[in-house]
């Protein structure tokens, strides 16, 4: 039941958040199914964990203003892709692309855009795979195609991004150059760490069937 005091604008915001919540719920079911399938049927699960959120109205308005638009529902629908956001954390970079292929294979999901900040990291060192999808949300008035941003990262990339995000808000996007340089160096260290851990995983797999000499030769030479 809608309260009488709600005006048109409040209702529009309420609907925007509700539809994006439904889109997140829909994606949550699909991703939980994949996660559970891997736990049940396979000996390796590429998904470490998943988080879900719908951006709150203050953050939506703030972001619209930051990118140069009036903070309206219409502009949020038109210009934002991450009102509904999902973050999938994987152990290794290769897992990210395996999970992406599974998402891509879902025939009623439309992939709108893929931004590969792993192949081409942002200047500050940020790495993630951003996938913008459109998913049908069924309401009483019909189907609403709704955008969801899926961010895929390794544990190490997520660690860096979480710390950087806190500093970004602390300095309102204008952190001192020493901090920027230090963050970039940490991002490089983290990439190195990701690569080394992946090589370690391949070594462990190789050792299941081969001698240490063969594996070390294959992987490190």
Q: Which residues bind ligand 0O2 (CB under 6 A)?
A: 55, 63, 81-82, 85, 115, 122, 124, 126, 130, 149, 161, 164-165
Q: Minimum Å distance from CB 207 to ligand 0O2?
A: 36
Beta carbon nearer to ligand 0O2, 35 or 153: 153
Cα dihedral value 156, 161, 163, 168, nearest 10 = 160
What is the C-alpha to C-alpha distance for residues 208 and 211, in angstroms, rounded to an integer?
8
Length of the chain: 221
> What does the angle CA 213 – CA 216 – CA 220 come to, to the nearest 5 degrees?
150
CB of 158 to ligand 0O2, least distance (A): 9
* Closest to 100 (Cα-Cα) out of 151, 38, 48: 151
Q: Is 23 exposed, middle or buried (0-12, 13-18, 19+ CB in 10 A)?
A: buried
Report in angstroms how near the CB of residue 139 gets to ligand 0O2 at its nearest: 25
Considering beta carbons, is residue 17 or 161 the nearer one to ligand 0O2? 161
Report in angstroms how near the CB of residue 78 gets to ligand 0O2 at its nearest.
Answer: 14
- For the question of residue 149 being annotated catalytic, the response is yes
Report helix, strand or coil for 121.
Answer: coil
φ/ψ bin of 5: left (φ > 0), alpha (ψ from -120 to 50), beta (otherwise): alpha
**Which one of 15, 149, 185, 212 is the catalytic residue?**
149
Residue 71 structure tokens: 């903070």
Which CB sits closer to ligand 0O2, 152 or 215?
152
Could you identify the residue written with the tokens 């855009």? Answer: 113
CB nearer ligand 0O2, residue 39 or residue 56? 56
Tokens 């983290």 correspond to what residue? 190
> Can you tell me the distance from the alpha carbon of 83 to that of 99, in angstroms, rounded to the nearest whole number?
22
CB of 151 to ligand 0O2, least distance (A): 6
- Give the residue with the Cβ less far from ligand 0O2, 22 or 160: 160
Annotated catalytic residues are 149
């Amino acid at each position: 039941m809608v309260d009488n005091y709600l005006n048109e604008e409040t209702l529009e915001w309420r609907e925007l958040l509700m539809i994006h919540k439904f889109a997140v719920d829909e994606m949550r079911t699909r991703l939980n199914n994949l996660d559970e399938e891997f736990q049940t049927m396979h000996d390796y699960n590429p998904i470490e964990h998943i988080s879900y959120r719908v951006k709150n109205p203050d953050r939506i308005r703030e972001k619209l203003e930051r990118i140069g638009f009036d903070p309206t529902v219409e502009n949020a629908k038109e210009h934002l892709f991450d009102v509904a956001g999902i973050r999938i954390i994987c152990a290794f970079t290769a897992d990210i692309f395996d999970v992406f292929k599974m998402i891509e294979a879902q025939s009623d999901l439309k992939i709108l855009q893929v931004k590969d900040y792993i192949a081409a990291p942002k200047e500050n060192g940020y790495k993630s795979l951003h996938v913008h999808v459109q998913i049908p949300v069924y309401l009483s008035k019909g189907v609403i195609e709704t955008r969801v941003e899926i961010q895929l990262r390794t544990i190490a990339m997520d660690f860096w991004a979480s710390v950087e995000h806190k500093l970004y808000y602390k300095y309102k996007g204008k952190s001192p150059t020493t901090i920027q340089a230090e963050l970039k160096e940490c991002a490089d260290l983290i990439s190195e760490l990701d690569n080394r851990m992946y090589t370690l995983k391949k070594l462990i797999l190789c050792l299941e069937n081969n001698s240490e000499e063969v594996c070390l030769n294959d992987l490190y030479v």
